[in-house]
Amino acid sequence: MTGFGRGTHTTDTWLANVEAASINRKQIEIVANLPRALQSLESSVRQATLPHISRGRVQISVKLEMPGTSGSAVRINASLAKSFEAAFTELSQAIGRPLTPTPADFLRQPGILETGELEDIDPDAAWQAIAPALEEAIKNLNTMRASEGGHLKTDLLDRLDKLGEFTATILEHAPFRPERQRDLLLKRISDLGLPLELDDERLVREVALFADRCDISEEITRLDSHFGKFREYAGSGDAVGRSLDFLCQELFREFNTIGSKANDALIAQTVVEAKTELEKMREQVQNVE
């Protein structure tokens, strides 16, 4: 799920500003952006973040400065700037017309403006400021993610209710399939001019075989079970995104089987609508932690 959180903490030595931003992703990925002098703390940042995030791409940005000062300074590389201007002069002579670099040209040239970072930082001392700020940032991040999760839960349960309605429609229509198959067989035989009694053993056997092939009671039972489990997971406070993803796959499988076995236009159309709704659910479930 998407979210953003910010945290700050100050010690006697350092002021840490930490920002945490997350976007949707099926797996967990943590990217830590740290000052060059604190690259050794990347593992610590990841380990402190992992217990709180189980899904998504999370980017952690850490800025460190001394209290009351700026953590970085901008310096001008004068020699590079002069060389850059001299190159324009040489280029003007080469093409026979004057070319004058603009301020934007200087700014776009890498290295002319240099940002100096804090050096000689004790990682242990810096971590004393970073760790509480990181904890606050993740807490605020998860607050926003929880809000989004509440909306997702409502949407998913509404769609699950629709699937229940589709299942009820299928269940109501399914028992009449053998009877309609019998009538269809009789009509075809009658059209061919072949005499056949309603209690003819061959007709009874054919209808019985058809009823057995199109029986969907097992699929309906499993659908009801999956619906109940889905609601149970949705009401849990744990990370259930992968479990819900698996259930969506199983629901899709059951509806697909029903469509294959039923051999009925109305049931087939209902199955198509149910699978369309399930595809929307599966897209949403990818965002659930």
Torsion of CA 33, 36, 38, 41, to 10 degrees: 50
Q: Alpha-carbon distance 6 to 13, whole Å?
A: 20
**For residue range 177-219, what is the model confidence (pLDDT) as tens digits?**
656 655 665 556 556 555 556 565 665 565 555 555 667 778 8
CA-nearest of 55, 36, 58 to 45 is 58
Please name every residue paired with 60 in a beta bridge, in sequence order, or none if there are none: 20, 32
Once rounded to an integer, what is the mean pLDDT over residues 249-260? 89
**For residue range 54-69, what is the model confidence (pLDDT) as tens digits?**
888 899 999 988 776 5
Three-state secondary structure call for residue 214: coil
Task: Determine if the pTM surpasses 0.95.
Answer: no
Q: What is the pLDDT, as a whole number, of residue 149?
A: 83
**For residue range 219-236, what is the model confidence (pLDDT) as tens digits?**
888 999 999 999 998 888
**For residue range 95-151, what is the model confidence (pLDDT) as tens digits?**
888 888 888 888 777 777 755 555 568 889 999 999 999 999 999 999 998 888 888
**Between 21 and 146, whose confidence is greater?**
21
Q: What is the pLDDT, as a whole number, of residue 180?
A: 62
Burial bucket for residue 22 (CB in 10 Å: 0-12, 13-18, 19+): buried
Please name every residue paired with 115 in a beta bridge, in sequence order, or none if there are none: 74
Q: What is the pLDDT, as a whole number, of residue 17?
A: 94
Q: What is the pLDDT, as a whole number, of residue 185?
A: 59
**For residue range 168-177, what is the model confidence (pLDDT) as tens digits?**
998 887 766 6
**Between 266 and 255, whose confidence is greater?**
255
Q: Alpha-carbon distance 267 to 215, whole Å?
A: 13
